Amino acid sequence: MKYLVATALLVACKSNEKPAGPQPTDVVVVKPGAQPLRAIRYAVPKGMHTTVELATDWKVTAGEIGNVMPTIVTSFAIECDDVAKDGSMKLRARVIDATAHERADSGVAPAAIATVLEPLKGSTMSLTLAPDGRVSPPTFEAATGSGSGGNGSSGSAAGSGALTEQLQALGASFQQLAMPLPTAPIGVGAEWRTSRKIQQNGLELTSVTTLDVTSLDATTVGFTLASELHGADQTLTQAGMEVEIKDVVGTATGKGTIDLAKGVTTGEIHLDLKSNMNAAGSSTPMRAQTDIVIH
């Protein structure tokens, strides 16, 4: 069950690496769009406060066996604690609520995962957002009284067991949904492409994303996006068993709005990931579908 819930929340790979600064991007402007052109940068003022709600629907099939999770809804209060001289913004997100909602096609009762989600409430994660959209690995702090206490970096002891997995999953969500921005000025109709390494459902993947600008004003960028995902053959450990994952391919589509003054992206994204799982001498086709809506 811990694995299923973490997957539904876009599980991050468990890493023991120390936090690093924002990683470089390779944004390429395919076409600049219509005049007037302007540079777009995140500029979140110190003291900014906003709230975001993230709803996730998840379905996985393995051969002829399928499993659909309840809708998981997580609400955050996001604040900008400081702005550095180079414009980098220190953002802090506190989990206001985390609940599971019934789905007609789900065989899992929301109450079955409520105890896993409950410790998330009150937990916080902090990260640095660069003006060009690069995001540092987050650090976590569990809620007081959750039984895990203390500060921890991504992949370290912000808690133990299921709580650590959920915190890492939420951190991965924010990192993967951050939008790297081009350095060149752009206008409506612009198109840019970027590739980056990501973690999805515990898998190491490369994502190549093309983003088209549908609207542009002083603080917001409307967009549609399409991504191609692929991954090398790799081995995961699940429930103490080594599982070989091969032929990993996938797609992502979405649309939404980047708020440059709040550091958040709202909208919707659909991910469809396919692979073959080899374990105990047999091969099983796998498909994981994730729908995310952000308000």
Q: What is the pLDDT of residue 22?
A: 52
Distance CA 225, CA 205 (A): 18
Distance CA 40, CA 186 (A): 8
Percent of the chain beyond pLDDT 90? 53
For the segment 103-150, what is each residue's pLDDT rounded down to a tens digit? Answer: 888 888 899 888 888 888 999 989 999 999 988 888 888 877 554 444
Distance CA 208, CA 250 (A): 11
Answer with the residue of higher pLDDT: 246 or 202.
246
Answer with the residue of higher pLDDT: 82 or 237.
82
Percent of the chain beyond pLDDT 70? 79
Q: What is the pLDDT of residue 148?
A: 44
Q: What is the pLDDT of residue 19?
A: 39
Distance CA 63, CA 76 (A): 36
- State the DSSP code for 117: H
Give the residue numbers spanning the domain of 251.
2-294
Please give the average per-residue pLDDT across 194-217, as a whole number.
87
For the segment 149-192, what is each residue's pLDDT rounded down to a tens digit? Answer: 444 444 333 445 566 666 776 666 666 667 899 999 999 999 99
Q: What is the pLDDT of residue 43?
A: 96
For the segment 26-61, what is each residue's pLDDT rounded down to a tens digit? Answer: 899 999 999 999 999 999 999 999 999 999 999 988
> Backbone phi, then psi, for 142, in 5-degree steps?
-75, 155
Q: How many domains does the chain have?
A: 1
For the segment 265-274, what is each residue's pLDDT rounded down to a tens digit? Answer: 999 999 999 9
Distance CA 25, CA 209 (A): 12
Q: What is the pLDDT of residue 176?
A: 61
At 10, the pLDDT band (50, 70, 90 cuts) reads very low
Q: What is the pLDDT of residue 114?
A: 85
Query: ∠ at Cα 253 (234, 187), nearest 5°?
Result: 120
Answer with the residue of higher pLDDT: 67 or 191.
191
> pTM here?
0.81
Q: What is the pLDDT of residue 89?
A: 96
* CATH code (residue 87): 2.30.230
Q: What is the pLDDT of residue 16?
A: 32
